[in-house]
Chain A
Amino acid sequence: MTVWLPVALGRDIEPGAATGTTVDGSSVALWRDAGGTLHAWADRCPHRGMRLSFGFVRDDRLVCLYHGWQFDGDGACRHVPAHPRMEPPGSVRPTRYRAFERGGLVWVSSADPADDTELSRIPSVATPVRSVWIREGREQVVDRLRSFTEDFQDKGTVAVGILDGTAILAGIQVVDAQTTALHLIAPGAVPDDTVRALVRRIHDIRESATAFAPVVAS
């Protein structure tokens, strides 16, 4: 069985940006090229193992922060600054995952080919709300979300329900045994005020789980 995993809100990875996430326990670099295409690669430079999510994007290439090796959208190494006239060998290539965007969510699959039928049930038009990371396991986070939500349904990689009168869909990402991310969208076009209220609400839900150290002036 192939599972598409929600890992981010698409708007949070703007063109030219890179960040890190976790898929099936593995570190993954997410980056968007200048043309708007999103890429998900193993977060490890094939040269020296540096995290590629620390790197930077130049046009259609991800550049490793460590030694500046440049990789194009297919993962092919195109330039090695220390040897500018060298043709980089084709075997120097980061592991790539399949990435797909639907409903404002970024989905990644480590399987190839991935089964798309599950994704077709995600609304194609949605308003991104907010991603939060909660220091609890998946079951606790789902219970927590359920306690705030009406008509709640846990569907595996997503949960749906009504939060404060607005239909929501939360992509559920298991980061590790103690950390679960929720990537919240609202199907359809939702007014800004409603989105802000939902952002505040998902912050409340996160805070209800996390005993934060108090912030006081030192």
Chain B
Amino acid sequence: MTIPVLHDFPLDPRCYSVRLAASVLGYEHRIEPVDVIPGGAHLTGRYRELTPSGVLPVLETGTAVLVGTMAVLEHLAAGTDWAPTTPEWLTFASGPLEHVYACRDTALYTTDAVDTRAALTVLQTLDDHLALHADHDWFTADRPTVADLALYPAAALSRDIGIDHDTFPALRRWMRQVKHLPGFVEMPGIPVFP
């Protein structure tokens, strides 16, 4: 049997949520690191065919090629307890959450000033949702789903754009729970300690 291949840029939060999900779900795979920065390898060679838009991560299952975080997460979770009970937080992760990642990319890879207002609103929206649904420990259910793992990197890396966790108590609590999931793995910028 072919072992699925995950094409991955280690510093990218979108790739990280998939690495995290694959680990937590116990999905057997092999990681193929891609030199996105500074190499630009995702725009060359066989990636021009695999992911013409340059989007990572890409999962080659042996029978299918899945491009982008949400496609891979939905594939991993399909038919398991990790499938979200409602779609809106995966949608949120592929939409507004990009404000946080765009700010982080600007902060890490350019010398431009970073406008974090939209990113702050995004994190406040997450914190407010958890606070309003305190009867649920997780975003879409009383159990963790891939929606939690899709949202987690933006919250956990917010200090990279100067947004601390001090004013997001519900988010803090949830982030600690994510870190306690069996199979949790870290990425650069997210210490493994809870």
Contact = CB atoms under 8 A, between A and B. Distances in A.
| A and B: bona fide binding partners | yes
Nearest to A22: B166
Given A133-B167, A213-B120, 18 more contacts: A9-B169, A12-B169, A14-B176, A17-B172, A17-B173, A20-B164, A21-B166, A65-B191, A130-B131, A131-B167, A181-B167, A203-B132, A215-B96, A216-B96, A218-B95, A218-B96, A218-B98, A218-B99
Interface stretch (A82-90, A152-160, A192-200): A192-200
A19 B175 CA distance: 13
A12 B176 contact: no
Interface string A109-133: 0000000000000000000001101
Contacts, number: 68
A217 interface: yes
A104 interface: no
Contact of A19 (B122, B170, B172): B172
15 contacts: A12-B173, A16-B176, A20-B166, A56-B191, A56-B193, A65-B193, A131-B169, A133-B167, A195-B134, A203-B131, A212-B120, A212-B124, A214-B121, A215-B118, A218-B102
Interface residues of B, number: 29
B130 to A, nearest CB: 10
A70 interface: no
Interface in A174-205: 181, 192, 195-196, 199-200, 203
Range of interface residues on A (Cβ < 8 Å):
20 to 34
B96 A53 contact: no
A200 B165 contact: no
Given A19-B172, A192-B135, A216-B96, A53 B121 contact: no
Q: Which of A53, A63, A212 has the most CB of B within 10 A?
A: A212
Interface of B: 95-96, 98-99, 102, 117-118, 120-122, 124-125, 128, 131-132, 134-135, 164-167, 169-170, 172-173, 176, 191, 193-194
A8 interface: yes
Contacts of B122: 215
Interface in A141-181: 181
Interface of A: 8-9, 12, 14, 16-17, 19-21, 53, 56, 63, 65, 130-131, 133, 181, 192, 195-196, 199-200, 203, 212-218
Contacts of A63: 193
Contacts of A14: 173, 176
A9 B121 CA distance: 22
A46 to B, nearest CB: 20
Nearest to B176: A17
A199 B135 CA distance: 13
A135 B183 CA distance: 39
A195 B134 CA distance: 10
A57 to B, nearest CB: 8
A19 B165 contact: yes
Contacts of B131: 130, 199, 203
Contacts of A214: 118, 121
A207 to B, nearest CB: 9
Nearest to A51: B164
B166 A19 contact: yes
Contacts of A20: 164, 166
A213 B118 contact: yes
Contacts of A200: 132
Among A12, A195, A214, A218, max chain B CB count under 10 A is at A218
A179 to B, nearest CB: 9
A125 to B, nearest CB: 19
B94 to A, nearest CB: 8
B112 to A, nearest CB: 16
A195 B132 CA distance: 9
